[in-house]
Amino acid sequence: MKKIIITGATGFIGSNLVKYLIEHNYDIAIIVRESSTLKILDTELSKITVFRYNGNLECLIDFFKDFQADAVVHLAAYFVAEHMPTQIDSLVDSNIRFSMHIAEAMHQSGVKNMINTSTSWQHYQDQEYNPASLYAATKQAVEDIFKYYSDAWSFNIINLVIYDSFGIDDSRNKIISLFRKIANTGDVLYMSEGDQKVDLVYITDIIEAYMISLERILDNKCKGFHKYYLKSGNEKSLKEIAEIFSKVFDVSLPIAWGKRPYRMREVMSSYPLGEQLPGWDTQITLEEGLTLIKNN
């Protein structure tokens, strides 16, 4: 039985990945903050090893030595689209310091395999690297840190770049959740002009990408550092997504387009140049995914 450590397990993607891995007989440990609630994993808790991280690197190293994982899936991150000064410490602690602790704990315990998660927001204006936000800059810093561990200590790392995800029971403040909310309440949603294009990938396709990556890395088919993009190739503007949502759910969405300005450094399109994960492609279209959400 393969042993996997997962960070970010209480998030939307992380919790879905944990459930899938347990169903397929993996031995799972999760690393969570001391204050984290595990309600989203209630039915799986008896099958999971839980480590509550308090910022102490030595304790984290001891945990890694005890568990002896075959691989780490790093999903945890602190996201903010436009930061305030009060959020800088959280960005550094959650995204950079914690990631460095994970890498060092792996090194000290002899764990060599990792799946890391990055964001398409590292490619503002479709440039190879141009962070759209301070959050995106911290994600690039983490990539560079892991690249060092790969080069210096022979880590095998698959770095997956996620665009946008959606699916059943998604409680995040994302566009599909917002559309569902206003469809139910009738409250007007004030938005920008809605011309920014979004590449939405359904959660089961995202999980499949992590499984392909794990199989590649556990079967010794991936050496060194590799970066792949999870892109559907079917990006749509927010206005187009609203139209498709309205059609699938048979509702008229109360959206006031053009009543809010675009963010500073708004991401207007999905980075088109990254290499796609070998052996992976999307199976669920936007319309099919929305229908699954509607019928759940």
183 and 217, same structural domain? no
Give the tokens for residue 18. 């944990």
Report the C-alpha gap between 174 and 179 in whole angstroms: 9
82 and 48, same structural domain? yes
51 and 156, same structural domain? yes
Mean pLDDT value of segment 159-174: 96
Residue length of the chain: 296
Q: For helices 134-153 and 98-109, give the axis angle rounded to 10 degrees.
A: 10
72 and 102, same structural domain? yes
Q: Does 11 map to a domain?
A: yes
Q: What's at 89, amino acid-wise?
A: D
Q: What's at 232, amino acid-wise?
A: S
**pTM of the predicted protein model:** 0.96
**Distance of CA 30 to CAs 4, 6, 34, Å?**
8, 5, 12
Which residue is it, tokens 């990938």? 201
**Distance of CA 22 to CAs 69, 72, 112, 295, Å?**
15, 15, 22, 25
3-state helix, strand, coil in the chain (%, to 5): 45, 20, 35
Q: Does 273 map to a domain?
A: no
CATH code of residue 73:
3.40.50.720
- The reported pLDDT for the residue numbered 163 is 95
How many other C-beta atoms can be found within 10 angstroms of the C-beta atom of residue 201? 23
pLDDT digits (tens, 9 = 90+) for 225-258: 999 999 998 999 999 999 999 999 999 999 999 9
Q: Does 278 map to a domain?
A: no
pLDDT digits (tens, 9 = 90+) for 2-45: 999 999 999 999 999 999 999 999 999 999 999 999 999 999 99
The domain in which residue 22 lies consists of 3-165+199-230
186 and 122, same structural domain? no
Rg (CA), the chain: 19
CATH code of residue 176:
3.90.25
264 and 152, same structural domain? no
219 and 131, same structural domain? yes
183 and 156, same structural domain? no
210 and 67, same structural domain? yes
188 and 126, same structural domain? no
249 and 178, same structural domain? yes
Domain count, the chain: 2
